[in-house]
Copies of this chain bind each other. A is one copy, B any other.
Amino acid sequence: MEFYGEIKLDKEDSQHLYIQLYKALKTLILKDNIKGDQRLPPIRKLAKALSINVVTVVNAYDILEKEGFVYKKIGSGTYVSPQILGSKEKMIGVPEEEGFSLIDQGYIQVGENMINFASATPMPELFPVADFKAVLNEVLDRDKGYAFGYQESQGYYPLREILKKYIQSYGIDTEIDNIQVISGAQQGIDLIAKGILNYGDTVIVESPSYTGAIAAFRSRGAKIVDIALEEDGILLEELEKKIIIHRPKLIYIMPNFQNPTGISYSGEKKQKILEICRKYQVVVVEDDYLSELNFYSMNNQTLKAIDVHQQVIYIKSFSKIFMPGLRLGFLVIPSRFYDQLIVAKHSSDISTPGLLQRAFALYLEKGIWQGHLSYMEEQYKERFDCMVQSLKREMPKEVQCLLPKGGVNFWLTLPQGISPKKLYEEALKENIVFAPGHLFFLGKEDFGQLRLSIAAVSKDEIEVGIEKLGKIISKLLIKESKKKESFEHYKPIL
């Protein structure tokens, strides 16, 4: 009980007491103040010592257990997990509270006149509302009550039929039976976690990666291992090495215009990844969230298109190029996983709303889709080009950016000494928001990076916003070099 003194709880704080306690204990565990297999104080004792409610302690211990920091022995108490210590690859059950993709979800309070580089989802002004309204009404007149009955779990058959044709045009050949309609890509990831992962299985992800995917895998009790990205994809040697050590069940990657980095994998690397994963029987999960927005890349082929051995589960989202609030997407599933995934879908939400599936099927059937896609490509390309020009023009040369060849995300690395969090604060004063890079790393490490997205900003906003950001960074650079000077100034004479 010697660590009591270090726990400071603030009853006036807006954060729940149990969250405060959980965080304090987690810090003690991570700092190694409480050792592996050491017993935590009995609930009542700790509650008394800290003058808090018993339930508060119960809840804090529960979260720690969920995150794998402690384990419980029935009738004996709560103990610190030994395996968590000394390992950076934590097995944790729920995502960190902070940075849990809250930005993507609109939790950053974006005011009326703010320039929003944080959101990677398109502005509602771009949505084809009139066309979609027309197909909705047509479906209602045609199908009446049947549009609101239960839909089969696999998805509305005519929709799967036309989706098969749609991906054929992207070089993916599949059977209708291998297509599973999902309520958005996030659900696709969750179903894969549910259907394929066992508790304690390992999953490999890119570093940095999409936090929503990591959350879904963690929620199944998966251990997450990450692999660094270079210009043309993840490091292959690291991949093979980590596969041998960790024996992962699956790998989750975004080979085209990766989120958050914008990187695209080379054709050779795509091929090699399939070979390595085949050798070690690792399932490949490909998240294709916007391969359509291919402006300057020679090769935006999906892994699924070259998947001759049926190793790839393909996730297709329409949130970035159509309308995110529809919550519609689909999976292409190799037959051997089929049963597991349909059971996972059924036990998750039975089926995706039939009305929306029927309307989207009609929308695709009528050929309105192609026109919309061209329009979105045009809109995005204009912004994309504007962003490239603005970055080249406005950013101090110390800022690094590997320019992407498509998509909506730009990944910047700030010069040493300039913190993205500081930049975030300064930018906010100028009504600009973006996504700090630490949000996308497993351990929320800060490598001085940030993601700028062009999905929710106009051309004018890009020009103004990047100019302002460039100026803020320049100012911070001057301050930084002054700090160095003054440090040198006060250097003791040896």
Instruction: Identify the A interface with B (CB < 8 A).
Output: 16, 18-19, 55, 58-59, 62, 65-66, 74, 93-95, 97, 100-101, 104-107, 121, 123-127, 129, 132-133, 136-137, 140, 144-153, 183-184, 186-187, 190, 194, 198-199, 212, 215-216, 219, 221, 247, 281, 323-327, 336, 339-340, 343-344, 346-356
Contact = CB atoms under 8 A, between A and B. Distances in A.
10 contacts: A66-B198, A106-B149, A106-B152, A126-B145, A136-B136, A145-B323, A186-B350, A190-B348, A212-B347, A348-B348
A14 B133 CA distance: 43
A211 to B, nearest CB: 10
Given A16-B339, A150-B325, A346-B215, A221 B194 contact: no
Closest 7 CB pairs of A and B: A124-B145, A148-B323, A325-B354, A127-B145, A187-B349, A215-B347, A148-B325
Contacts of A219: 194, 343-344, 347
B216 A347 contact: yes
A198 B326 contact: no
B147 A129 contact: yes
B145 A343 contact: no
Contact of A350 (B62, B133, B153, B327): B327
Contacts of A340: 94
Contact of A19 (B74, B105, B339): B339
B105 A350 contact: yes
Contact of A184 (B199, B323, B350): B350
Contact of A348 (B59, B74, B186, B356): B186
Given A327-B349, A327-B351, A346-B105, A339 B97 contact: yes
